[in-house]
Structure 1
Amino acid sequence: MSISSVTRYVATTAAVAFLLVAATTGDCLAEGYGVRPASFDQVMLEDDFWLPRLRTQRQVLVPYALEQTSEALADLRAAGELLAGRRPDPLPAPHRYRTSDLFKVVEGAAYLLAIERDPVLKAQLDRVVEAIGAAQEPNGFLNATRTLYPHVAIDMMGDGAYTYVDHSHELYIVGHLYEAAVAYYHATGDKTLLEIAHKNALHVRHVFFEGDAKYNGGRPINQAPGHEEIELALVRLAEATGDPIHLDTAKRFLDIRGVTYRPTGQGVDSPAYAQQHLPVAEQKEPAGHAVRATYLYAGMADVGAKLGVSDYDAALDAIWKNIVDTRMHLTGGLGAVHGIEGFGDEHQLPNADAFDETCAGVGAVLFNWRLFLRRHDAKFIDVAEVALYNNVLAGTNLAGDRFFYVNPLAADGFRAFNHGHAGRAPWFGTACCPTNLARLIPQVPGMLFAQDNDGLMLCLYAAAKTRLTLGGVDTEVVEQTGYPFDGAVNLTIQPEKPARFAVRLRVPTWATDRFVPGDLYHYTGAAESAPVRLLVNDSPVEVSIERGFVSVDRTWTAGDHVRLELPMPVRFSTCRSEVEANRGRVAITRGPLVYCAEGVDNTGHTSTYMVPPESIEATAEVGPMSIAGHATRAVTVAAERIIDGGDVEPASLGMVPYYAWNNRGVGSMAVWLPDNLETLRDSALVVDDNARRFTSATASHTYEGDSTGALVDGLLPRDSYDTSIPRWTSWPHRGESQTIELELAQPTDLQSVGVYWYDDHGGVQTPLRWELQVREGDAWRPFPLYTTDEFGVAPDQFNVVHPGEPMTVDRLRLEVWPRPDAAAGILEVMVRSNEE
């Protein structure tokens, strides 16, 4: 695709993006959002950082995601067949939420339709829209699984529609339907999907707040969903349809949360997991599942702004402050804790075991952007920017076809696996992350320029141009910059006639005494940054920062130009001592980018390096580098490396932006590096021997050429047909169920269990299914599976499950059901502890 095509694409697709982040009409000033992002047809992106990503979005990510969500489309088509009086053959197995992934991809694909007319893609989306419409029941209900299995008890979905709102994802799914419908309508002008969404939203309101004889015995359900999304989606639907009833429905869902219903239990069944522990206006700290939480906070900001009420402002301010002061990784990642995929205790921020789901990074961008629009303070953009450039962009490889669900800040390259994969995954059984990337990345141009009653605001930085009415005069604004690798921002103002207005440019927090807002991280101060400079028509202007912006208020004439110079030295950061994982360590940043060390660029494992205090930032070297064909900047710092015998020697440590790691194969990685010899020696890699976790492994049958010891020998396979390491198989017992028992060396606070299947494509194959049991006293009980996990049988990866509740175990049992014509085989069973 040509640069001009991409530019047209960005200019047009931003239209839909703005609908997600703010209203595009002047009405939003009266409705509470005092900042208006530049409209889609006023932005043309011309930079070297985002354009390649948008090209990848167009050519790879969205088409790939549409292909990967074909099963969800099959669900909808089967439901449509049933409603038309025909029995689907085959009948898809029930699934709680995969249609939501398809809806997110439809949203992302709708942006692509804004490029020159694309009849192939339009026809493809039209077929999806047709299937969605056919799957909608006459009363507006739309859930393929429940249409196909109306009264069947399904795990985590209850025994009928809306019977288990805690975990059924029914309202989460339709929330993403609404967002897709709005995007599709604004990209094409076709109201078909919008009308489907409108009808469903009226149905949901009727069932939940008025009562319908078909559901819940006719009584209003009056319960907030366990997974938020519908709240912010209803705001978008209200904007697109012009029907304020949807905004009222959104507020109702917010105001009953933690009031009309609170779950009981632990883990995923706890009140805090789904933010139902308190009414939303009384919540003061982030809690529970991070994606659900950030979607909730975004919805609260939207509803408050659109209705012009302050009901949620105090809660949002307190939650935001607590996040940036105690619960946010340097990368902007949120939800550090496995098991609940969410917020743990204050300062609980592990590195190798950080969760930091990609979707939570997306949620952080959406939440913080809305707070900026609401509060007019650039510190919220600063957090959104750090999350976007680091946590979010790390979620996909540079080719656009491999993904991270989890975003750790350290990896050893040997035992670490990312939601079952050594490195990036081609897809996930729970595919929320790649589909969220499909819809977020095209929205970035909608966060560059904004205005209010005083004039122009530059928010995120990228080379671009726009036309706005400023000071009552039509004005072209041209921005030139090499951001995020260069901190010089040049702005040319071209009003049609002289006009007075303010031009405000953001001075990011990273250009001050710390990398990101909050009290968690501070620069070491070993090297002082040069001051920020502002020039107007080449003349220096005093820099006075207010709410994160420098401002020039004057009468502008054609050709006036402004230059903002944001120095970008390499900076070292330290963390508050309350964060145990970062004691005695430093992290390295430059501009808005967090840097990490990868084994591929260095000698040996990254855990053998330290950066002593005398390696001040001023000695760091910055140079161009290409990774997977993408231009970036590498950093080299003076370091020391531990060698055999425990001595250290001088070394150079090469580092790359965190977003670019794991694009050159699986290996070690570290963001936080020791700054002293004691920490280095304590943390230098000892290759994990999985065998030390176990005292025995037994099986109901083992082929004479194999061994049960292979189950836990710590030798990790290259793929499922790795014959270079030992294995366990049940050959020649084809089709016969097998039992494996594992005894742990000590009681383990269980984080996860991963199984790597052996498959020789012949007599031993991945099984039909398996289950896990845990020992309690003298009895075995089913493993309490985490809500979005499944007992996977995929080859060439660890199939990982997490417990849905806190548990300490000393014995595990696997029940394996092979295929009828094959035996079962396993190369490794991996157990991880929360204490690691």
Structure 2
Amino acid sequence: MVRSYFCLALALLAVPAAAAERTGYPVTPASFEAVTLTDEFWLPRLQTQRKVLVPYSFQQTEQALGDLKVAAAILAGDKPEKLPAPERFRTSDLFKVMEGAAYLLAVERDPELERQMDKIVEVIAAAQEPDGYLHPARTLYPHLQIDMMGDGKYAYEDHSHELYICGHLYEAAVAYFHATGKRALLDVAEKNAQHVERVFFAGDPAYNDGKPVNQAPGHEEIELALVRLAEATKNPRYLKLAQRFLDIRGVTHRPEGEGVFSPTYAQQHAPVTKQTEPVGHAVRATYLYAGMADVAAMLGVNAYDEALDKIWTNIVDTRMHITGGLGAVHGIEGFGPEYDLPNADAFNETCAAVGNVFFNFRMFLLERDAKYLDVAEVALYNNVLAGVNFAGDRFFYVNPLAADGARPFNHGHAGRAPWFGTACCPTNLARLIPQVPGMIFASDDSGLYLGLYAASRTKLSLAGTPTEVVETTKYPYDGRVEVTLRPERPTKFAVRLRVPTWTADRFVPGELYHYANSNESAPPISVKVNGAEVKFQTTKGFAIVEREWQADDRIELLLPMPVRASRCRNEVAADRGRIAVTRGPLVYCAESPDNQGHVFNYLVSAENVADSANEKFVSIAGAEVLSLSVDAIRSTKAESLEAARLTLIPYFAWDNRGTASMEVWIPANEATLRANEIKVSDNAEQFKSAHASHTFDQDREAAIIDGRLPKNSFDTTIPRWTSWPERGKPQTVELELAKPTDIRTVEVYWYDDRGGVQAPESWMMETYADGQWAPFALYNTDAYGVATDQFNVVHPAAPLTAERLRLNIQPRPDAAAGILEVVVTPEN
């Protein structure tokens, strides 16, 4: 039987006798491919995954496949005329799409998709070096000094992403092996893992002067992937290798520097067992915590338990957005100080929400506590699903809780993007969503667990008896869940039905958020068996019903879903005087297509939310979603206040109708409303002047900083700067800032008329401060982009204050360069 991503049944491994009592997760989830969905909410998303998202993602990762093909040609003795530029991590995106495709094959074999996968596997195998090393950038350029990769293989593990790519290779290989039984990619993965073990912990004469590298990777991923490799191969050496990488983190190496070069950025500031709060890059962190949970369970060790508990508690008490988003802070894409949870400026990378699901689902399997499923659910239904549009071909990298509808926030876009230069988020969605059915049912020695709720069916062994379990529900819009049990013979076991945190006094576990009307008693939850209400006890968030079950016994769980208003702790400055509206597991937001004027100009009283709420299903981009409307007060252009209705939609549904304004945390008093009212941001205020080396006499330099945002790269309705008619000649554009500015981002929107003026071949930037020019050091996953129809965003690698910026532009040989706007976003 194929095992799901989460069904890590490693108890079968030959675990050393010295291991502690616990070996393997105590809870076993039903494998996703063994669960048949009939769900109105999730089934359409799985169909979109198969028809659109995965095929589209394969198209978008063709460049990564091209890198592997060139590497394979070089290893075969060919000498390609032109090599692609070295790139650190895009191969990982291809591997993630392959993993997602393998999950689709596990559910339903598709000969065409399988042939496509087999061809890619052949390329990967051919691109692997004889000793097992696999990274096309280094096969193409063995000793070239490459930014963030050092001057050779494994020369700069802090940022090279070499082991991160290996991890995603292993996960794709395991998934494809389980789906098809084919070992070719699994053999590549094993060869690489044994190479990594040799180079990092034994020593290999071809690497690091023969000395063991003995350093944990900057970007975690290989740790949890090695656990999966051990499960697939039944070889515990990979499990021990995962443990070794965990146990040397923060011990054998600690970076020195600030920002992305700091020891906290990659959780290398202390041994993992001594870490007590989440720090650094949020995706790296959640992958680390997931790996710690895996190794703890599979090797039967408890050394990581205290750290995991403290980290999780700190996240839900101080550092998680109400949408389940993690990593609020730009610059490091990660965790800032406690209670630093901005709204419009929130980062909340889609990948971090995916990592939040991974981490919390594992914690549920480890601790059998529903609070972890509650966090996973909130992150999944809100932040994760917001990351992709209903059509499956437009994405969010950044997930703010407010947007003004004009300024770019999503890696150069004011709304959703068709793809990203750093494409980790779309490809993570490609592999997570097919696994959701594997989070619905689980079992242990005592009986059945019902986790996420969705209309579905599966067959499990409960108390030794094969039992069909059928679930009927319209969750997340309706809290009625009906479960029919069909054991092959009468059998006694416990059924644990998750009672989500949102049914009590707060929306999500932790101390950050509480319902605003604390005196309002929560509607009662009821459980019926065969139509008769039964008493139940609740333990660790599960309502437990234990009895001897007969075929066709029916359980009904009723989870009332009133509309609720939440307040945030006062320590969170961004949410003072505001409320957030939720219903069931869904966070709601106001979006401008549904409302009159800008949504920042509305006020809603917490006391009126529940009583005034009306519910209605509406169609958004072909999807049926439940909208709400509540009594509100609106500020008019005359600055007067008038009664109004405010319409809200689920947060996951926003920006499916074009770029718009959006807000989750709504003012709850007039003072907050007045401070919140939309004020048109003038980018020109950031600058004193703009000067270019050459300007066409019908264009003007001031257009670069006039605050007029383009609709596309051939927008002729606004002014522009071009260097026409100087084709192919290098150009400089110098921008003087209005004052010394702490830089968060610099964003460039190229003009391109598809003729004489085109987006350039390349560019780079310098900054002026303290009397001298210096190169602008890029954030580690950034590049100087030349994409059209979007802002090309760069972040500084470390905190940076600048007085001037200088863009050095190399146009295409037969074209001039042009810019529509440069936006500088300062740190708040």
Q: Determine if the TM-score, normalized by the shorter chain, exceeds 0.5.
A: yes
Tell me, yes or no, if the aligned pair for 1:111 and 1:442 is still in contact at 8 Å: yes
Distance in 1, Cα, partners of 2:517 & 2:605: 14
CA contact (8 A) 2:11 2:298 kept: no
CA distance in 1, matches of 2:104, 2:464: 33
Contact 1:417 1:798 in 2 (8 A): no
Of the three residues 423, 429, 432, the one matched with 2:421 is 429
Instruction: Identify the residue that residue 3 of structure 1 maps to in structure 2.
Output: none
1:66 deviates by 0.6
After superposition, where does 1:522-561 map in structure 2 within 5 Å?
Answer: 522-525=514-517, 527-561=520-554
Matched, 1:628 2:628: no
Correspondence list, 1:495-510, <5 A: 495-510=487-502
- Cα deviation, 1:209-266, whole Å, max 9, x if unaligned, reads 0000100000000000000000000000001011111011101000000000000000
2:297 corresponding residue in structure 1:
305
Determine if contact 2:398/2:409 at 8 Å carries over to the other structure: no
Task: Return the offset for 1:614.
Answer: 3.9
Q: Give 1:375's aligned residue.
A: 367
Alignment of 1:313-712 (within 5 A): 313-525=305-517, 527-712=520-705
Aligned to 1:234: 226
Q: How does 1:735-746 map to 2 (within 5 A)?
A: 735-746=728-739
The aligned residue for residue 206 of structure 2 is 214
CA distance, structure 2, for counterparts of residue 698 and residue 712 of structure 1: 11
In the alignment, the residues of structure 2 paired with residue 22 and residue 145 of structure 1 have an alpha-carbon distance, to the nearest angstrom, of 32
Provide the residue aligned with 1:23 in structure 2.
9
1:810 CA drift (Å): 2.0
User: Structure 2 residue aligned with 1:35, among 5, 8, 27?
Assistant: 27
Alignment partners' CA distance in 2, 1:417 and 1:326:
24
Aligned amino acid, residue 42 of structure 2:
W
CA distance in 2, matches of 1:613, 1:132: 56
Partner of 2:164: 172
TM-score by structure 1 length? Answer: 0.97
Letter in structure 1 aligned against 2:659: V
CA distance in 1, matches of 2:682, 2:10: 57
Contact 1:133–1:196 (CA<8 Å) still a contact in 2? yes
CA contact (8 A) 1:21 1:369 kept: no
| Bigger mean CA offset, 22-31 vs 364-373 | 22-31
Residue in 2 that maps onto 1:4: none
Q: Distance in 1 between matches of 2:10 and 2:381?
A: 25
| 1:194 and 2:170 matched | no
Q: Residues 21 and 293 of structure 1: is their aligned pair in 2 closer, same or farther, counting only changes over 3 Å? A: farther
Query: TM-score with structure 2 length normalisation?
Result: 0.98
- 1:5-24, aligned counterparts within 5 Å? 15-16=2-3, 18-23=4-9
Q: Where in structure 1 are there 5+ consecutive unaligned residues?
A: 1-11
Instruction: Please state how far the C-alpha of 1:22 moved relative to its aligned partner.
Output: 2.8
1:309 Cα deviation from its structure 2 partner: 0.4
Aligned AA (1:22) = L
2:253 is the alignment partner of 1:261: yes
* Inter-partner Cα distance in structure 2 for 1:654 and 1:710: 38
Shift of 1:32: 3.7
1:149 aligns with one of 138, 141, 150: 141
Does the aligned pair in 1 maintain the 2:32–2:435 contact within 8 Å? Answer: no
TM-fit CA distance, 1:819? 1.0
* Counterpart pick for 2:765 among 772, 776, 785: 772
Find the aligned partners of 2:294 and 2:182 in 1 and give their Cα distance: 25
Structure 1 letter corresponding to 2:673: L
Task: Find the aligned partners of 2:366 and 2:207 in 1 and give their Cα distance.
Answer: 38
What is the DSSP-based 3-state SS (H/G/I as helix, E as strand, rest coil) of the residue aligned with 1:71?
Answer: helix
| Conserved? CA contact 1:82–1:88, under 8 Å | yes
What does 1:105-124 align with in structure 2 at a 5 Å threshold?
Answer: 105-124=97-116
- Distance in 2 of aligned mates of 1:385 and 1:487: 14
Query: Is the partner of 1:96 in helix, strand or coil?
Result: coil
Distance in 2 (CA, whole Å) between partners of 1:528 and 1:88 is 71
Q: Distance in 1 between matches of 2:64 and 2:756?
A: 32
| CA displacement at 1:138 relative to structure 2 | 1.1
* Contact map agreement 2:579 2:606 (CA 8 A) in 1: no
Which residue of 111, 117, 136 maps to 1:125?
Answer: 117
Contact 1:403/1:426 (<8 A) preserved: yes
Aligned partner of residue 822 in structure 1, secondary structure:
coil
Rounded to whole Å, the distance in 2 between the matches of 1:126 and 1:416 is 40
Question: Counterpart of 2:331 in structure 1: which amino acid?
Answer: G
Give the direction of change, closer, same or farther, for the CA distance of 1:26–1:512 in structure 2 (3 Å limit). farther
Comparing 114-123 and 233-242, the one that deviates more: 114-123
Alignment-mate amino acid for residue 713 of structure 2: S
Q: What secondary structure does 1:574 align onto?
A: strand
Counterpart Cα distance in 2 of 1:754 and 1:92? 25
Distance in 2 between the 1:115 and 1:502 partners? 29
AA paired with 1:572? A
Relative to structure 1, the CA distance from residue 583 to residue 385 in structure 2 (aligned partners, 3 Å threshold; closer, same or farther) is: same
**SS of the residue aligned with 1:213?**
coil
Correspondence for 2:280: 288
Write the distance in 2 (CA, Å) between the matches of 1:70 and 1:787. 22
Which residue of the partner structure matches residue 66 of structure 2? 74
Query: What is the count of residue pairs matched by the alignment?
Result: 821
CA distance in 2, matches of 1:126, 1:464: 31
Equivalent AA in structure 2 for residue 612 of structure 1 = S
Shift of 1:40: 4.5
Q: Distance in 1 between matches of 2:268 and 2:32?
A: 37
- TM-fit CA distance, 1:30: 5.2
Secondary structure at the counterpart of residue 633 of structure 2: strand
Classify 1:46/1:194 alpha carbon distance in 2 versus 1 (closer, same or farther; 3 Å).
same
Q: Helix, strand or coil for the counterpart of 1:696?
A: strand
C-alpha RMSD over aligned residues: 1.3
Distance 1:221 1:618 in 2: 63
Query: Which secondary structure does the structure 1 equivalent of 2:5 belong to?
Result: helix
Partner in structure 2 of residue 816 of structure 1 = 809
Q: 1:829 aligns with which of 817, 822, 826?
A: 822
Q: Percent identity?
A: 64
State the alpha-carbon separation in 2 of the partners of residues 140 and 508 from structure 1. Answer: 47
8 Å CA contact 2:687, 2:735 repeated in 1: yes
Q: What's the CA shift for 1:475?
A: 1.5
What is the CA–CA distance in structure 2 between the aligned matches of 1:90 and 1:46, rounded to whole Å? 51
Offset at 1:709? 1.2
The superposition leaves residues 176-219 of structure 1 with CA deviations (integer Å, 9 ceiling, x where unpaired) of 00000000100010011101100100000000000001000000
CA contact (8 A) 2:11 2:24 kept: no
CA distance in 1, matches of 2:812, 2:57: 29
Shift of 1:20: 3.6
